[in-house]
A and B are shown apart, each in its own frame.
Chain A
Amino acid sequence: MKYMLLIYGAESGWTEEEREACMIESMEISEELEKQGKWISASPLHSVTTATSVRVREGKQQITDGPFAETTEQLGGYYIIDVDDLDEAIKVAARLPPAKKGTVEIRPLLPLPELPAST
């Protein structure tokens, strides 16, 4: 079962050292999951200030700066993992350093057999 772990946090809530430690720890977790055949993909995202939103309404493209959600926690990165069940996904999520400061949302991927196979 594939799950996406969406990592939300307050961008200003991290010191440079914390950010670096978080990155190292997250990489270690990725490598460990990779060895177990449970890792598919993961990445931090650039700051929310780099975000651009696109909408097409009545055929017209609208481009705006940033996401609109006025929340203190922003999407900051993601993991896609392949584990047995929700409990295992929760265990991985709880180990991710951002879980201590922000929120890790777990969403199962909806399997769609018609999609082209990834290489």
Chain B
Amino acid sequence: MHSAEIEELYRNESRKVFATLIRLLGDFDLAEEATHEAFAAAMQQWPEHGLPDNPASWLVSTGRFKAVDTLRRRAKLNDLQPELSRRLAEIEAANHSVAQQDIEDDRLRLIFTCCHPAIDPKVQVPLTLREVCGLTTEEIARAFLIAPSTMAQRIVRGKAKIRDARIPYTIPLLNDLPSRLEPVLSVIYLVFNEGYSSSSGESLTRADLSDEAIRLARLLVELLPDPEAMGLLALMLLHESRREARMNVDGDIVLLDEQDRTLWNQDFIAEGSRLVEQALRSRRFGVYSIQAAISAVHAEATEASETDWAQIVALYDVLFRADASPVVELNRAVAIAMRDDIASGLAIIDSILYRGDLHDYYLAHSARGEFLRRLGNKDQAKLAFKQALALARLEPERRFLRNKIASTESD
């Protein structure tokens, strides 16, 4: 048993152990401290005595004993405050056997606690990243482009709300589940997108975020085989399957129709497609499942030219009925351009922009520029790309648009 192995165990198990300790101790800070102490004890004992049969259970029970010690010390210091001694008695009476299934459930409990509707939506995602995924406050602040001190405040506020308002640490009952599941799914998808759409700077950390989101969704699907949870997992797997192809060696964006499809991860595609079918068969699917179905149609085509655009337009029609947002309308317009002709797609994009919707959305101007270019309207195309450039925030996006402007001139 080497310390490197324990470190790997720490990476894989620490958040599970932490989640279970929160349930047993009812206190985030105490659980955090106990998790660290349990691993410190493991570092001392395991190299000598070998690995226990169930390391996670060992860590949980060690952490619990450490926490009881801490509480005893504090209780003495505080002259046995009734609140502290009550909690001490509760924890000491807690069940000694900790099954593996319980430990997995605890992570899901923790997600539902962090995404409780009584917590500010702005706080839900950072809190989930911090407590469930174990990211540091600095990493989360960087991902959200805000000051670490502001992020720390949000996380502290969320933890205090859970503790002081006593938000229960449970997976909601079946009849509450639909309303409670939605923020959990959207938090997981936000975590994924944070790792998927942003490409500059801390790309490593952000790829981790996508992996983490997929892992959380897998856990959710395993414990609650809800069709939308399956749809979300499928959607993320299908997106993730293209990670290697989305960017060339220079770090430039490669659009879907120009990607080298041999770089797509076929295992992810197979798993994602299987999940989509399962979700759609349930007939209780929603927006994630439909988006995953669209992504699966793209994945089926070995060449961009073989894409079944008619099916994609049909799926966008279904999606638009479920979620009549201008972004969905824009994507549908692009699919129509591919199925019918560019001019029809362009007309729809123009009408969306004319309404004033998506005026600040760089992808709307970028798509418009591309269609104008293909129709041979170079001046208007350049103008549209320039508008998109003024709105794009990430460096690879901006490079992509500058290249478009340059190549439109030389067409």
Q: A106-B165, A108-B165 are in contact. Are A86 and B118 (CB under 8 A)?
A: yes
What are the interface flags for A59-97 relative to B under an 8 Å C-beta threshold, 1 for contact and 0 otherwise?
000000000000000000000000011110010000000
Residue A111 at the chain B interface, CB threshold 8 Å: yes
Residue A113 at the chain B interface, CB threshold 8 Å: yes
Are B166 and A85 neighbours in the complex by a CB distance under 8 Å? yes
Instruction: State the total of A-B contacts with C-beta under 8 angstroms.
Output: 26
Q: B residues within 8 A CB of A84?
A: 166, 168
Say how far B207's CB is from chain A's closest CB, in angstroms.
Answer: 36
Residue A45 at the chain B interface, CB threshold 8 Å: no
Residue A51 at the chain B interface, CB threshold 8 Å: no
Complex Cα gap A21–B239 (Å): 55
Residue A1 at the chain B interface, CB threshold 8 Å: yes
Residue B50 at the chain A interface, CB threshold 8 Å: no
The secondary-structure label for the interface of chain B is loop
Say how far A81's CB is from chain B's closest CB, in angstroms.
Answer: 13
Say how far A61's CB is from chain B's closest CB, in angstroms.
Answer: 33
Q: A residues within 8 A CB of B170?
A: 87
Say how far B60's CB is from chain A's closest CB, in angstroms.
Answer: 22
Residue B81 at the chain A interface, CB threshold 8 Å: yes
Q: Which of B153-187 contact A (CB under 8 A)?
A: 164-168, 170, 172
Are B83 and A86 neighbours in the complex by a CB distance under 8 Å? no
Q: Which of B80-132 contact A (CB under 8 A)?
A: 81-83, 116, 118
Q: List residues of chain A with CB under 8 Å of any chain B CB.
A: 1, 84-87, 90, 106, 108, 110-111, 113
- 26 A-B residue pairs with CB within 8 Å: A1-B166, A84-B166, A84-B168, A85-B166, A85-B167, A85-B168, A86-B116, A86-B118, A86-B165, A86-B166, A86-B167, A86-B168, A87-B167, A87-B168, A87-B170, A87-B172, A90-B118, A106-B165, A108-B164, A108-B165, A108-B166, A110-B164, A111-B83, A113-B81, A113-B82, A113-B83
